Amino acid sequence: MDAHPDPLASDDDAPVPGPVLHQGYAAAVPELSLPIAAAEPPAPAIAWLNEELARELGYDPAWLRGPAGISLLTGRVDAQGRPLSDEAETPAEPFTTAQAYAGHQFGRPNPQLGDGRALLLGDLLDTHGQRRDLHLKGSGRTPFARAADGKAPLGPMLREAVIGEAMHAAGIPTTRALAVLTTRERIAPRRGVTPEPGALLVRVAASHLRVGTVQFAAWHHDRDVREALLAHTLERHHPAAAGAQNPALALLTAVRDAQAELVAAWMGAGFVHGVMNTDNMTLSGEGIDYGPCAYLDRHRPGAVFSSIDAQGRYAYANQPGIALWNLSRLGEALLDLIDAEDPESAVARATAVLEGFEPRYREAFAAVMACKLGIPLHRPEAGAEVEVLTADLFALMEAHGLDHTGTFRTLTDDGADGVRALVSAAAGDASAAGGASDLEAWLDRWEALRERTGVGRDPGLHAHLQAEMEQANPRVIPRNQHLEAVLRAAELGDLAPVHAFLEAVRRPGKVPPDHPEWIGPGEGGEDFLTFCGT
Ligand code: AMP
Ligand code: MG
């Protein structure tokens, strides 16, 4: 892996009109990835290109759509970014790499995971000066593939693109798709007997470092490798912590805080990740690997949408606890870097950091919910008031079968009266008169709290909070039934619906002109299950 160029080398004479890729990770920690060439995909064609993101990275979308751009997207370039010729044999020194990682899957340790069907195309500096990874999924088997085929079906790759755009539009840290490509391949079906169209996903991430990466280093490598990984991770994601007295503890603290914020944002949005294994939890704090994930329709703490999560381990309301469980595994993997001399002291110090998760999470969640509820946080007691109000509202939403996203948007657009009407409609006319007094009482409390905080008297504050509510409470989210319908159309060869859907989730405050139905749940969303791997 020494063949990789210096990540700080100049791009001046680059043959690519845009940033040239480096393999900075392989250069920093060569033991944690393998140089693996991308197989040449049959007839790759762009199914969707994220033009906005392409420009942010510094690429011209039109160039990316051309043959040289497709070579870059599919990993068919050499270390200088020059396309490999069609006849080229697998290069002796491939530029792309497969990353090794381990992880706890559904609570059980797996010492050997890694990029089984994916490759790191490289890293680059985007137009904001941020270092980002480009990653290719579905590119064929690697030595980490175990028994699986190394391929990716079109539906799940488009699904990952849609969720990433929805997250980004909501301001939630996320990996994003740069492109989804189709190939001429038909691949083994996940269900049934009909082969599925094969696809490739090109993903952009702050990095692909995971809790599972640190676990892999802890379980298989010597201290020098673990230290190199720690230094690289801090430099890349948490530079403020790089000079800390105890860098490993500083990393645990930084990841704790980033994940507390991320999961708080998911909980506010009603998002269920579905596979919060430690290999699917990043050290950057970005959401990653949107496979069997879904947004709530009706608010249900126990909501699970993944066909493989039979125990409900990753149910909606379990997610903060699971984040802490995963962070505890990170802490374990860092113990001897925290204090090699005194294991008891290492455990005590890691535990103290982990005990900080709950207050961090609660603070982050209260901030998310204050925005959603239009309550200013400028008084010391406001956070606690928002927590109580939220817990009570969630319980009522569950009891009355209210739609998570719809309820908050109604509160935003039509206030308490809007929600009263919603409940009457949900309960039917017979019980409307007296059937929802608990919810009435909650709406009175919400209005009273808003009054107390001066929202009614201060037009400037009112406008500010209203704008925050509109941003925090989308009309359009990628609801299960609608997403499934547009993915099914794509699988049958019609990409227009998923293109329209992607545009809709990118403008979440707007009713999609041709598809007003996308703001509602559609039929049968509660029983929806996803089957995709991640
Ligand atoms: P995930 O579902 O993202 O948690 O992935 C778990 C592990 O399975 C990772 O090591 C993946 O690279 C691997 N994997 C998932 N699907 C495939 C596939 N079709 N071919 C090869 N490896 C796969
Ligand atoms: Mg994964």
Q: pLDDT tens-digit profile of 361-373? A: 999 999 999 999 9
Select from 108, 113, 313 the residue to mutate for testing ligand 1; criterion: most ligand atoms less than 8 Å from CB: 113
Among the options 115, 279, 297, 403, which is catalytic?
A: 279
Report the domain count for the chain: 4
Rounded mean pLDDT, 327-333? 98
- Whether residues 236 and 191 fall in one domain: no
- Whether residues 65 and 128 fall in one domain: yes
- Whether residues 408 and 516 fall in one domain: no
Annotated catalytic residue 279: yes
Q: Where a domain ends, among 335, 363, 391?
A: 363
**Which of the ligands is closest to the CA of residue 205?**
2
Q: What is the DSSP letter of 312?
A: -
Residue 74, SS3 per DSSP: coil
Lowest mean pLDDT among 18-32, 295-309, 424-438: 424-438
* CB of 275 sitting under 6 A from ligand 1: yes
Closest ligand 1 atom, residue 118 Cα: 12
244 part of a folded domain: yes
Helix orientation angle between 319-338 and 357-373, rounded to the nearest 10 degrees: 140
- Whether residues 281 and 339 fall in one domain: yes
Instruction: Kindly report the average pLDDT of the chain as a whole number.
Output: 92
2 part of a folded domain: no
The label of the residue with tokens 């984040």 reads 323
- Whether residues 269 and 247 fall in one domain: yes
> What pLDDT shows up at residue 320?
98
470 part of a folded domain: no
Rounded mean pLDDT, 449-459? 91
Rounded mean pLDDT, 276-297? 97
Whether the per-residue pLDDT at 469 is higher than 70: the answer is: yes
16 part of a folded domain: yes
Taking the CA atoms of residue 313, residue 317, residue 323 and residue 324 in that order, the dihedral angle to the nearest 10 degrees is: -100
- Whether residues 227 and 201 fall in one domain: no
465 part of a folded domain: no
Closest ligand 1 atom, residue 105 Cα: 4
* CB of 153 sitting under 6 A from ligand 1: no
Rounded mean pLDDT, 466-480? 97
Q: What is the pTM of this model?
A: 0.95
* CB of 160 sitting under 6 A from ligand 1: no
- Whether residues 100 and 157 fall in one domain: yes
> What pLDDT shows up at residue 3?
44
516 part of a folded domain: yes
Model confidence at 526, in pLDDT bands (50, 70, 90)? low
- Whether residues 492 and 419 fall in one domain: no
Residue 368 CB partners (closer than 8 Å, separation 6+): 264, 265, 267, 268, 472
Whether the per-residue pLDDT at 427 is higher than 80: the answer is: no
- Whether residues 187 and 293 fall in one domain: no
Q: Where a domain ends, among 326, 341, 363?
A: 363
End-to-end, the C-alpha distance of the chain in Å comes to: 27
- Whether residues 268 and 358 fall in one domain: yes
Domain extent for 305: 212-363
- Whether residues 267 and 346 fall in one domain: yes
Closest ligand 1 atom, residue 113 Cα: 10
Q: Which two tokens stand for residue 417?
A: 């009266």
Model confidence at 1, in pLDDT bands (50, 70, 90)? very low
Q: Where a domain ends, among 183, 207, 231?
A: 207
Distance of CA 497 to the CA centre of its chain: 23
435 part of a folded domain: yes
pLDDT per residue over 164-192, tens digit each?
999 999 999 999 999 999 999 999 888 78
> What pLDDT shows up at residue 424?
82
268 part of a folded domain: yes
The label of the residue with tokens 């749940």 reads 521
- Whether residues 18 and 125 fall in one domain: yes
